[in-house]
Amino acid sequence: MSHKLPDFQYIRQNYQYMTLVQDLEENIYIFQVLLEENSDIVFRKINIGDKKVKAYLIYVDGMADKSLITRNILEPVMIETRKLNKTVYTSDQFFNYIKDYFLTISEVDVKDKIGDVINDLLCGETVLLIDGIEKAIILSTKGWEGRNVAESTTESYVRGPKEAFVETLRINTSMLRRRIKHPDFVIENMKIGKYSKTDVSIAYIKSIAEDKVVQEVKKRLKKVQIDGVIDSGYLEEFIEDNPFSPFPQIAHSEKPDRVSAEILEGKVAILVDGSPFALTVPAIFAQFFQAGEDYYERYFLSSALRVLRIIAMLTALLFPSIYIAETTFHQEMIPTQLAISVAAQREGVPFPALLEALFMEVTFEILREAGIRLPMQVGQAVSIVGGLVIGQAAVQAGLVSPAMVIVVALTGIASFAIPAFNIAITFRLLRFIIMIAAGTLGFFGIIMVVMMILAHMASLESFGVPYLAPMAPSKTQELSDVLIRIPWWAKILRPRTIQRKNIVRQEDTRG
Amino acid sequence: MKRFIILILTITILLTGCWDKREINQLAFVQGLGIERGKDDMIHIIVEILKPGLLTTGGGGTGGTGGGSAAGKPYAVFQASGVDFAKAFANLNDELPRSLFMQYNEIIFLDEKFARSGIYQTLDFMTRNPEFRRTAYILVVTGGSLEELFNLKSENTLERYPYKEVMGLISNQANTASSYVSDLNEFIETLEIPKKAPITGRLVIVKKDGKATGIRLSGSAVFDNDKLIGFLEEQDTKAVATLMNKLKRSTLTLDKGLKGEKAHISLVVTKARTQIFPKIRDGDISFDIKVNVEAYLNEQETKYELTEPENLEKLQTMVSKKIKTAIEHALFILQKKYNADVVGFVDILYKRNPALWNKIEKDWDKIYPDVKFNVTVKSVIRRSGLSSKPIYPR
C-alpha cells in the first residue's frame, strides 16, 4: 500500500462525494468499511486473464440473480479471459475489452462515484471492480423472489382482466406497457426516501395528459423528504390537496386494466416499488362509484348498477339517521301501520333510538373489523357469532328492536356495495356524525350536516380538477359517464374535466 | 380561536336540540277522535288509543308482550270533558301515561247533537293546532252514541278496531258513492265561500235489540255554515257528487225494462262529467247543467241484446232520464228543504258576474229556492260486461 488509507469516520461521512481510486485494495477497504456489518453482501475475489489481474465482484445475496452472475459474469470473465494473448493492454483498453467482449449481461453501466455505486449495489446490481482502474462496472443482475402475478383480492370482477399488480415495480410497469404500446406512453422514474430509496414511477401519456398536472405531480413528489416509502399510501397523504378532508382525493387501484384505462383518459399514475396499489390523479368523486367492470359488462347493466350504487351510497350514509329522526322527532312521516309496528317493537327497549343505533352500528363495525383482520377460517366463525349476537340474541334480550337490526344490517350491506373501499370508509365515519345530528335535531340536523358535507366536497380539488366535477361545475355531456354509462361507441370524447389537450377519443364512425 | 368559536357554536346548536324529542314508544297513537256535547254544555271528547304491543301479534316476540292473539282489545277508549277543547285535551292528558299523538288520526267523529249545535269551535281548535291533520275526514254519527261506536264488538267488525273499520268504509264507498265524505280541508274551504254549504259523510250505527251490531256509511250530512241542518239520502248524495264532479264510480238500477215492463237493469257508472253554465236574463238567474255519463251494463233481468243499436239507444235514454230525475230530486231537496247550496252555484255565479253577485248576496237565501235548473244528461253505454248477448235467447 502506497499511502495511508483514509480513516473510518472520514469514509462514513464523505462517501457520497468520494470517487474510486486505482488501487483495488483501497476501494475494497472503503466498501468494507461502509458495509462491514452486512452479512448479505458478497465480496468475491477473482483473477482475470492470463496476467491474473485482480478483481472483485460485489453483490447483495438474495437481490442479485446468482445463476446469472455465475453464467454470464464469472464464467466468461474467469474462464474465457484465459485465452487472451499476452498482448499488453493499457488499463483502459483492458477495462473496455472486459466490458464489451466478456460480460454477457444486457445492461452494463460504468460509474466512478462511490455513493452511486453503493446505491446500485443495494438495488441488486452487481459491481465489478478491477485493479488499476478507478471505475466500476455496474452489471444489471436484479432478480429476487417476489410474489407471482395473481388474481386481485380487493377488486374482483366477474368479467374482465383478472391479474393484479404485485410488489415489484418493474413487473407492474410492464403490465401497463403491455396495454399501452405507444411511444407517447411515458414511465418516468424517481427515487424517494432517504433510507428506503424507493423507486417511484410516474406513468402518463405525453400527448394526452395535461402538462400542468404532470409537472405538479413531479413537483409534489420531489418535495417529499421522508426516510422511507413502504407503500403508495405514504405518498398519497403527502401529495393530496386537502390533507384534512375525510374524502380521498387520490384514487388507487390494484388492477392494471383500470389504471391503464385511467391513463388513457389523461390521468397520471404513480407506482411505488413494494406496493401493489397504483395511485391515479386527478381523482373525482364520481369515479369512486365506478367499478372497472362497468366498462366490460354491457352498458344497460352497468348503468343500472351505477344507479344502484348511488342508492347504496345514500343508504349507507343516511338510512340509520333517517330512522332515528323519524322515530324520535317526525313520527307523523312514517306510515301509520309501520309506526305502530315500530312502536310495538320498541316497547321494552331500554335505550333511546339514537343510543340504540349507535350501539348497534358500533357492534357492527367491531364485527367487521374483527372479520377483516382474522384468518379466513376464524373470520367465518366471527361472522356467524356476530350474526347471531346482532340478529337474534340482542333482540330476544330486549336490548334492541328488530327494526333497528334491519336498519343496521341494510346499512352495513349497502356500504359494501360501494366499489371503492376508501370512500366507503369515509361514509362509515360521516354516518356517525349524521346520526348524532339526527338524534338531537331530527331532519333539520341531517340536512345541516349533509349541507356542510356538500359544501366541503364542492370546495375540494384534486390536482386542479373540482372534486364534484362533472356534477358541480356541471358538464352535462360528461354526466353520461357518471349516473349511467353510455356505450363505448358513443364515447367520442375523453372527459374534459381531466384534460383539455387531446379530447377526441375515437373517430365518430356513426357518420 | 376561530376553531374554538366554531366548536362552541356547534355545541350550542347540538345542546339546544332534543327539546321536542319523543321516542316513538312513548306516544299514545290516537286513531279515532269523537266529539260530543256533554252535560252542562261541556265539550266531551272520546278517543280510541291504540296499544301497539297488542296490535302486532305474531312475528318478533318483543320485550313486554308475550305475544299471543287472545290478549284482548288492541285499543282503549278514553274520555274527558272540559269547558273548551284545550281544557278537554288537557284533562285527557292527565289520564294518560303517554303523550297524545294526533297525527295518525284521520277521522273526526261528530255526534249528531253536537253537530247541530255548531262546530265552529272544533274547526278553530283543529286548524290552529299543528298536531291535527288537515286531511282528517269528518263524519257525523247518527243512530247511536259515540261510545257505542268506539266500543263496537269485534265480532261485528272485519278489522281489528272500529276506527280501521270506518277507514275501510270510507275508502270502499268510492265504489258506490253512496256517501260523500269531506276532510277538514275541504270543509273549511267550503266555509270560506260565502253562502256555500259544506256536506260530509254520515255514519249510521246499525242497532238490533238496542245493541250496536254494525255501522254503515250512508248518505251525507248537510251543514248551514257550521251547523248541521239535515241529511241527504244515498240517491241524492250520488246526484250531488255528480254535480260536484266528484263521482268516481257508482251503481245505477233501472226499475223498468226497455219496453216499460217491470224488470230491473243494473249499470255501473264509470265516468260522470258535469258542466254548469249560469244564465242571467233580466235579473232572472238560472243554471244550465250538462252531464255526460259513461256506464256499462252490469246485470239485466230481461234478455235484450245490446248489440242491437236501437236497444242500446233506448237504454241510454233511460239511463239519462233516470239520472236527470235523480239530479232534479236532489236539487229540489237542497232548494226547498234545506235552502243550502252544496254544489257551489254561488261560486259559479260569482265567477261569471261578480258585480251581480255582490248585489244579490244579501237576498240569496230568498232567491236560491226558486232558481231554475235545466238539466240535460247524455249517457253512453260502453260495454255490456263480459257477455255481449244474453246467455240464451228468449
- Nearest CB partner across the interface for A339, out of B18, B23, B24: B24
**Does B113 lie in the same domain as B215?**
yes
User: Does B61 contact chain A (CB < 8 Å)?
Assistant: yes
Half-sphere exposure of A440 (CA within 13 A, CB side): 16
Q: What is the pLDDT of residue B64?
A: 41
Q: Which of B15, B24, B26, B69 to mutate to test the interface with A (most CBs of A within 10 A)?
A: B24
pTM of structure: 0.84
Q: What is the pLDDT of residue A495?
A: 87
**Is position B13 within any domain?**
no
Convert the pLDDT of each residue in A248-273 to its tens digit: 999 999 999 999 999 999 999 999 99
User: Does B22 contact chain A (CB < 8 Å)?
Assistant: yes
- Partners of A334 on chain B (C-beta within 8 Å) are 24
Residue A146 confidence class, pLDDT cut points 50, 70, 90: confident
Residue at a domain's end among B199, B232, B265: B232
Q: Do A343 and B24 touch (CB under 8 A)?
A: yes
What are B226's three cell numbers?
257550521
What are B36's three cell numbers?
260530543
Whether the predicted pLDDT of A379 surpasses 80: no
Q: Do B17 and A445 touch (CB under 8 A)?
A: yes
Residue type, A100: D
Residue B70 confidence class, pLDDT cut points 50, 70, 90: very low
**Does B389 lie in the same domain as B321?**
yes
Q: What is the pLDDT of residue A86?
A: 56
**Is position B239 within any domain?**
no
Q: Do B24 and A331 touch (CB under 8 A)?
A: yes
- Cα B145 from Cα B149, distance rounded (Å): 7
**Does B39 lie in the same domain as B169?**
yes
Q: Do B20 and A341 touch (CB under 8 A)?
A: no
Q: Do A329 and B22 touch (CB under 8 A)?
A: yes
What are B213's three cell numbers?
251490531
Whether the predicted pLDDT of B19 surpasses 80: no
Least confident of A213-227, B187-201, B296-310: B296-310
Q: Do B63 and A331 touch (CB under 8 A)?
A: no
CB B359 within 8 A of CB B285: no
- Cα A82 from Cα A74, distance rounded (Å): 12
Whether the predicted pLDDT of A295 surpasses 80: yes
Convert the pLDDT of each residue in B131-186 to its tens digit: 899 999 999 999 989 999 998 887 888 888 899 999 999 999 888 888 999 999 99
Q: Which of B15, B19, B23, B107 to mutate to test the interface with A (most CBs of A within 10 A)?
A: B23
User: Does B31 contact chain A (CB < 8 Å)?
Assistant: yes
Give Cβ neighbours of residue A193 (< 8 Å, ≥ 6 apart).
Answer: A226, A227, A228, A229
E strand or H helix at B355, and its extent? helix B354-360
**Does B159 lie in the same domain as B257?**
no
Give Cβ neighbours of residue B386 (< 8 Å, ≥ 6 apart).
Answer: none
- Cα A287 from Cα A258, distance rounded (Å): 11
In our burial notation (b when 16+ CB lie closer than 10 A, e otherwise), range A30-64 reads bbebbbeeeeebbeeebebbeeebbbbbbbbeebb
**Is position B109 within any domain?**
yes
* Of A453 and A496, more confident: A453
**Does B178 lie in the same domain as B290?**
no
The residue-averaged pLDDT of A112-137 equals: 89
What are A104's three cell numbers?
454477457
Choose among A321, A316, A313, A318: nearest CA to A410: A316
Q: For chain B, how far is it from start to end, CA to CA, in angstroms?
A: 99
Q: Do B24 and A352 touch (CB under 8 A)?
A: no
User: Does A417 contact chain B (CB < 8 Å)?
Assistant: no
- Cα B114 from Cα B140, distance rounded (Å): 9
Q: What is the pLDDT of residue B65?
A: 41
User: Does B62 contact chain A (CB < 8 Å)?
Assistant: yes
CA distances from A60 to A25, A39, A169, B166 (A): 20, 9, 19, 90
- Nearest chain B CA: its distance from A349 CA (Å): 7
- Nearest CB partner across the interface for B60, out of A353, A395, A442: A395
The residue-averaged pLDDT of B83-108 equals: 91
Q: What is the pLDDT of residue B18?
A: 63
- Cα B338 from Cα B225, distance rounded (Å): 12
What are B84's three cell numbers?
273548551
**Is position B61 within any domain?**
no
Q: Compute the count of residue pairs across chains A and B with CB atoms less than 8 Å apart.
A: 93
Whether the predicted pLDDT of B21 surpasses 70: yes
**Does B210 lie in the same domain as B359?**
no
What are A15's three cell numbers?
462517501
**Does B259 lie in the same domain as B226?**
no
What are A214's three cell numbers?
404532470
- Partners of B29 on chain A (C-beta within 8 Å) are 336, 339-340, 343
The residue-averaged pLDDT of B209-216 equals: 88
The residue-averaged pLDDT of A334-353 equals: 88
User: Does B50 contact chain A (CB < 8 Å)?
Assistant: yes
- Cα A459 from Cα A457, distance rounded (Å): 5
Choose among B272, B142, B296: nearest CA to B220: B142
Determine how β-strand B284-300 pairs with β-strand B372-383.
parallel
Q: Do B27 and A343 touch (CB under 8 A)?
A: yes
Q: What is the pLDDT of residue A357?
A: 92
Q: Do B62 and A436 touch (CB under 8 A)?
A: no
Q: Which of A321, A326, A328, A392 to mutate to test the interface with B (most CBs of B within 10 A)?
A: A328
For residue A287, give the DSSP letter. Answer: G
- Cα A268 from Cα A34, distance rounded (Å): 38
Q: What is the pLDDT of residue A337?
A: 86
- Nearest CB partner across the interface for A340, out of B22, B52, B63: B52
Q: Do B24 and A437 touch (CB under 8 A)?
A: no
Q: Number of helices and strands (H, E) in chain A?
A: 17, 12
Q: What is the pLDDT of residue B63?
A: 40
What are B223's three cell numbers?
251543514
Determine how β-strand B99-101 pairs with β-strand B27-37.
parallel
* Of A49 and A400, more confident: A400
Please report, for the domain that includes residue B347, its CATH number.
Answer: 3.30.300.210
The residue-averaged pLDDT of A459-486 equals: 88
**Is position B306 within any domain?**
yes
3-state secondary structure A125-148: CEEEEECCCCCEEEECCECCCCCC
Whether the predicted pLDDT of B67 surpasses 70: no
B105: nearest CA in chain A? A336
Whether the predicted pLDDT of A278 surpasses 60: yes
- Nearest chain B CA: its distance from A195 CA (Å): 38
- Nearest CB partner across the interface for B56, out of A329, A340, A353: A340
What are B192's three cell numbers?
270560506
CB A249 within 8 A of CB A464: no
Helix B120-128 × helix B184-192 angle, to 10°: 110
Q: What is the pLDDT of residue A368?
A: 83
The residue-averaged pLDDT of A65-80 equals: 88
The residue-averaged pLDDT of A304-322 equals: 94
Cell 341494510: give the residue.
A410
CB B256 within 8 A of CB B325: no
Kindly calculate the radius of gyration of chain A based on its CA atoms and give it in whole angstroms.
31
**Does B259 lie in the same domain as B170?**
no
Least confident of A74-88, A447-461, B42-56: A74-88
Convert the pLDDT of each residue in A16-32 to its tens digit: 888 888 888 888 888 88
Give Cβ neighbours of residue B342 (< 8 Å, ≥ 6 apart).
Answer: B196, B197, B198, B199, B222, B240, B244, B334
Q: What is the pLDDT of residue B61?
A: 41
What are A346's three cell numbers?
320498541
Q: Which of A321, A331, A392, A399 to mutate to test the interface with B (most CBs of B within 10 A)?
A: A331
User: Does B194 contact chain A (CB < 8 Å)?
Assistant: no
Q: Do B52 and A336 touch (CB under 8 A)?
A: no
Choose among B132, B79, B75, B76: nearest CA to B107: B132
A326: nearest CA in chain B? B24
- Nearest CB partner across the interface for B21, out of A329, A334, A339: A329
**Does B210 lie in the same domain as B130?**
yes
What are A393's three cell numbers?
340474541
A264: phi > 0 → left, psi -120 to 50 → alpha, else beta; which?
A: alpha
Within 322-361 of A, beta carbons closer than 8 Å to B belong to: 327-329, 331-332, 334, 336, 339-349, 352-353
- Nearest chain B CA: its distance from A389 CA (Å): 16
Q: Which of B25, B99, B167 to mutate to test the interface with A (most CBs of A within 10 A)?
A: B25
**Does B218 lie in the same domain as B270?**
no
B102: nearest CA in chain A? A332
Whether the predicted pLDDT of B244 surpasses 80: yes
Whether the predicted pLDDT of A214 surpasses 90: yes
Q: What is the pLDDT of residue B62?
A: 42
User: Does A401 contact chain B (CB < 8 Å)?
Assistant: yes
User: Does A110 contact chain B (CB < 8 Å)?
Assistant: no
- Cα B202 from Cα B35, distance rounded (Å): 15
- Partners of A341 on chain B (C-beta within 8 Å) are 52, 55-56
> CA A35, A37, A41 angle in degrees (round to 5)?
55
Long-range CB pairs of B206-210 (<8 Å, 24+ gap) are B206/B143, B207/B143, B207/B144
Whether the predicted pLDDT of B388 surpasses 80: no
- Cα B122 from Cα B228, distance rounded (Å): 14
Domain boundaries, chain A: 8-139, 169-283, 296-466
CA distances from B17 to A93, A247, A450, A488 (A): 88, 28, 17, 51
Residue A205 confidence class, pLDDT cut points 50, 70, 90: very high
Cell 253577485: give the residue.
B357
Residue at a domain's end among B204, B232, B260: B232
- Cα A57 from Cα B350, distance rounded (Å): 111
**Does B38 lie in the same domain as B160?**
yes
Residue at a domain's end among B232, B257, B287: B232
- Partners of B60 on chain A (C-beta within 8 Å) are 345, 395, 402
Whether the predicted pLDDT of B71 surpasses 70: no
E strand or H helix at A222, and its extent? helix A211-223
Based on the structure, what is the number of domains in chain B? 2
What are A41's three cell numbers?
453482501
- Nearest CB partner across the interface for B24, out of A327, A348, A445: A327
Interface predicted TM-score of the whole assembly (ipTM), two decimals: 0.79
Q: What is the pLDDT of residue A510?
A: 66
Q: What is the pLDDT of residue A87?
A: 61
Within 237-256 of A, beta carbons closer than 8 Å to B belong to: none
Residue B352, domain extent: 246-394
CB B50 within 8 A of CB B61: no
CB A3 within 8 A of CB A22: no
**Is position B20 within any domain?**
no
Residue B66 confidence class, pLDDT cut points 50, 70, 90: very low
Q: Transcribe A325-359 into DSSP letters.
A: HHHHT-GGGS-HHHHHHHHHHHTT--S-HHHHHHH
**Does B303 lie in the same domain as B174?**
no
Give Cβ neighbours of residue B327 (< 8 Å, ≥ 6 apart).
Answer: B239, B242, B243, B289, B291, B375, B377
Whether the predicted pLDDT of B17 surpasses 60: no
Q: A61 pairs with which residues across the strands? A: A64
Residue A414 confidence class, pLDDT cut points 50, 70, 90: very high
Q: Do B23 and A402 touch (CB under 8 A)?
A: no
